[in-house]
Amino acid sequence: MGQGRRMKKQGIPPPLDESLVTRKRKDAPAAQVEERGKKRRTDTKGSKKGPAVNGGSGKRKAKPVKKVTLPPVSDDEIEDVSDSADGINDLDVMEDGLEGVNVTGLDALGSASESEDLDDDEFPDSGSDVVDSDTEVRKAGMWSEDEDDSDIEEKLTAANIEGLSRKLDMRKAIEDAEAQAELEEAAIQTNIAGDKPKVLEDEDGEGRPISNLQAQDLQLLRTRLTDTVRVLDDFKNLAEDGRSRAEYTAQMLKDICAYYGYSEFLAEKLLNLFPAREAFAFFEANETPRPVVIRTNTLRTHRRELAQTLINRGVQLEPIGKWSKVGLQVFESQVPLGATPEYLAGHYILQAASSFLPVMALAPQENERVLDMAAAPGGKTTHIAALMKNTGCIFANDSNKQRAKGLIGNIHRLGVRNTIVCNYSALDFPKVIGGFDRVLLDAPCSGTGVIAKDASVKTNKTEADFMRLPHLQKQLILAAIDSVDHSSKTGGYIVYSTCSVTVEENEQVVQYALNKRPNIRLVETGLTFGKEGFTRFMGKIFHPSMKLTRRYYPHAFNVDGFFVAKFKKIALTPLNAVGANAAPSSNGKVPAEKQAPDEYVDKTPITEDGDNEDSDFGGWDEEEDKKYMERAQRAQMRRKGKNPRAMLGKAKAKAKEGQGNGVAKWLVSIGHPGHILAQFPPLQHNAEGAAHVGGVTFTRVLASGESADRDAFAISLYSIRGLVRSARH
């Protein structure tokens, strides 16, 4: 995986400079997507924030804001952020947050590692070579060599992109000049001889008490915050005599809680992750939405074609950066992105950039068997399917039935046809089915990486959450490991990811897995950017290989906070390993009945259908099934030139005679019947009733009284009641 040109030129972008973050918040972005149900605390007083170092002026002209409204998009299509404890990932509503992209723009990041896409499409380095679109000059290398669309199309696209690029460059030049002036001003203030900010004083210069600044004193709070950061940054020179670092840190914590509205518990947890200046940048970045990004669905189109079509519809966009060949960053749109014909036809999905990363790390191969353990609403499942080019077989599982319905919707819309959707607790794997080439565990988490999307995280997470969630994550990761076939010829990998930045949910979970499963190793994620995972944190020491894991922060990369770890399973799980649901007893030994066998095998007996009322899924609606079945049967008969009315009439008559009801019964050997929600594509079974999906044979079992004539039993999406896995190839 080579590095992109820009990456080579620039290296990984540095963390956001505090003054630039501030500027980013205050400036009106080029296009703002209207925020829904989320208000930024610090937006309530437009004038309150200047860079304000030592009372710096903070004077900046407000730029006109062009509002773009995203259409209401169903929860099924965009991962919701409402139940962050259940894990949140993708885009909800975002604004263009790439003001100041010279520091941290997505497009400044590394090269693509999605092999699928390398021959797919190519965008130029935007902004590298500005050409006036009016001149209709075609820029060489706008698209990759292997793209053979017509010249006319190419010129049109070039003109649009170049127009956008020119506009962005002009804006950037103005902003750079403003930022420079601001920095100089701040520097003048900072360099005043003997300037030691009195942040720990009880009174401000005019005798007012400042130690108990409240949220309404935002300007003063901000001034004190920036001053405190400066002191902590240069403690030797700027700290007042006799004051300790701890005093300044405590002051900073207090002010962060008041200024940004965090609970002290969470603010401290997050503050501890970074040096003071970086922490400030992190909290600031959480006030700014991340860029609107769409992922091209390469099962349906190419990124270049999609970009062309959307540009023609009035969408201003740019490739997300060299690190992904499928992402497009949207700056401005005249049309609702969730309701364009291309959206409805499944040519793209709204997906946060960071959500690409776990799938890129997983790197699923064609014809493999992949398990997505916590899959809803399917941003990553559909990405996996695209990388696999709809070959092989994906089991997309989620324990939340409502969310799983959204998953089905996305799978359907995006044309995924290699996936079985199921509704288990992932803790039940590998008993449900194991032997996967790769497993993705995009775990339910606290969502501390996506505070910009869901500000409620600031206050609604408690100590109990940080006990409960890591416990669940630890159990899930063992289940993920045990579901992988270590002897897979092509794989044997597990990717663990969260949209949280806390150590409890990331390094500690990974360390737990390393402790409990000696048969795994951390390996390179293959991702071209990201900070290394911690090998030490607050007195805890993790395995040195933890540096192979990757951390993502909004202030550093302008993506949601994220964590990605990739393991390779190198041997069978040992006999004495603790299973996902088992815990050692007080004497430290695992009870014999809970000891894992040398490898989990699917020994679940084939169960009879019809007893699914007690299942989590709540059973099937026979009437609804029947309706869909009959509709599908009629369509199939018509295609075969038969008269559905006559045929179905006969079937009904037969049913009345007690010989069958015309509804195929499918039995399932992999758990309870009701847990299979849908299967794509509907089974193509042979005369014997067997069907093959991704190397798994599913055998159809006829209910009593059913005819073996397969034509009589058309299978529709909603009619599949379960599957029998009779053999694995």
Ligand X SMILES: C[S@@+](CC[C@H](N)C(=O)[O-])C[C@H]1O[C@@H](n2cnc3c(N)ncnc32)[C@H](O)[C@@H]1O
Active site residues: 499
Task: Compare residues 95 and 428 and give the one whose CB is closer to ligand X.
Answer: 428
CA distance 76 to 432: 25
Minimum CB separation from ligand X for residue 354, in Å? 10
- Positive or negative, the Cα torsion across 108, 110, 113, 117? positive
Minimum CB separation from ligand X for residue 553, in Å? 18
Q: How far apart are the first and last CA of the chain?
A: 32
Q: Which residues are CB-neighbours of 232 under 8 A, at least 6 positions away?
A: 245, 248, 249, 252, 275, 276, 277
Binding segment for ligand X among 7-15, 37-45, 368-376, 647-655 (CB under 6 A)?
368-376
- The CA-atom distances, in angstroms, between 64 and each of 30, 214, 256, 484 are 9, 30, 29, 54
Site for ligand X contains 660 (CB under 6 A):
no
Task: Compare residues 379 and 660 and give the one whose CB is closer to ligand X.
Answer: 379
Tokens of 266: 């969470």
Site string for ligand X, 78-117 (x = CB under 6 A): -x------xxxx----------------------------
Site for ligand X contains 375 (CB under 6 A):
yes
Tokens of 470: 């890591």
Partner residues linked to 252 by β-bridges = none
Partner residues linked to 209 by β-bridges = 203
Q: By beta-carbon distance, which residue lies closest to ligand X?
A: 87
Tokens of 158: 């070039």
* Contacts (CB under 6 A) with ligand X, residues 23-52: none
CA distance 7 to 280: 26
Beta carbons of 377 and 347 less than 8 angstroms apart: no
CA distance 451 to 24: 17
Binding segment for ligand X among 98-106, 288-296, 372-380, 703-711 (CB under 6 A)?
372-380
Residues near ligand X (CB under 6 A), total: 24
Task: Compare residues 239 and 432 and give the one whose CB is closer to ligand X.
Answer: 432
* Contacts (CB under 6 A) with ligand X, residues 419-438: 425-427
Q: Name residue 678's amino acid.
A: A
Minimum CB separation from ligand X for residue 479, in Å? 9
Coil, helix or strand for 248?
helix
- The CA-atom distances, in angstroms, between 309 and each of 156, 299, 300, 624 are 11, 17, 13, 39
Task: Compare residues 399 and 719 and give the one whose CB is closer to ligand X.
Answer: 399
Minimum CB separation from ligand X for residue 560, in Å? 11
* Contacts (CB under 6 A) with ligand X, residues 393-412: 397-400, 403
CA distance 638 to 643: 6
Query: Is the peptide bond between 681 and the residue preceding it cis, with omega within 30 degrees of 0?
Result: yes
Minimum CB separation from ligand X for residue 224, in Å? 37
Interface pick for ligand X out of 376, 578, 632, 712 (rule CB under 6 A)? 376
CA distance 727 to 663: 25
Task: Compare residues 452 and 663 and give the one whose CB is closer to ligand X.
Answer: 452
Minimum CB separation from ligand X for residue 99, in Å? 28
Task: Compare residues 281 and 349 and give the one whose CB is closer to ligand X.
Answer: 349
Interface pick for ligand X out of 13, 321, 364, 377 (rule CB under 6 A)? 377
CA distance 345 to 300: 8
DSSP string, 74-103: -TTTS---TTGGG---S-SS-----TTHHH
CA atoms within 13 A on the CB side of 65: 14
Minimum CB separation from ligand X for residue 325, in Å? 19
Backbone angles phi, psi at 506, to 5 degrees: -120, -90
Task: Compare residues 161 and 433 and give the one whose CB is closer to ligand X.
Answer: 433
Q: What is residue 299's DSSP assignment?
A: T
Task: Compare residues 224 and 453 and give the one whose CB is closer to ligand X.
Answer: 453
Interface pick for ligand X out of 380, 458, 550, 675 (rule CB under 6 A)? 380
Beta carbons of 327 and 558 less than 8 angstroms apart: no
* Contacts (CB under 6 A) with ligand X, residues 308-367: 355
Helices (DSSP H) in 340-389: which residue ranges? 341-344, 356-362, 379-387
Task: Compare residues 56 and 377 and give the one whose CB is closer to ligand X.
Answer: 377
Query: Is the peptide bond between 377 and the residue preceding it cis, with omega within 30 degrees of 0?
Result: yes
CA distance 379 to 395: 14
- Positive or negative, the Cα torsion across 119, 549, 98, 190? negative
Task: Compare residues 500 and 633 and give the one whose CB is closer to ligand X.
Answer: 500
- Positive or negative, the Cα torsion across 611, 613, 618, 619? positive
Minimum CB separation from ligand X for residue 109, in Å? 20
Minimum CB separation from ligand X for residue 85, in Å? 9
Task: Compare residues 182 and 398 and give the one whose CB is closer to ligand X.
Answer: 398
Interface pick for ligand X out of 379, 470, 492, 660 (rule CB under 6 A)? 379
Minimum CB separation from ligand X for residue 158, in Å? 34
Minimum CB separation from ligand X for residue 344, in Å? 19
Site for ligand X contains 444 (CB under 6 A):
yes
Query: Residue 476's Cα: distance from chain center in Å?
Result: 18
Interface pick for ligand X out of 442, 465, 482, 485 (rule CB under 6 A)? 442
CA distance 393 to 386: 12
Q: Residue numbers of the site for ligand X (CB under 6 A)?
A: 79, 86-89, 355, 373-380, 397-400, 403, 425-427, 442, 444
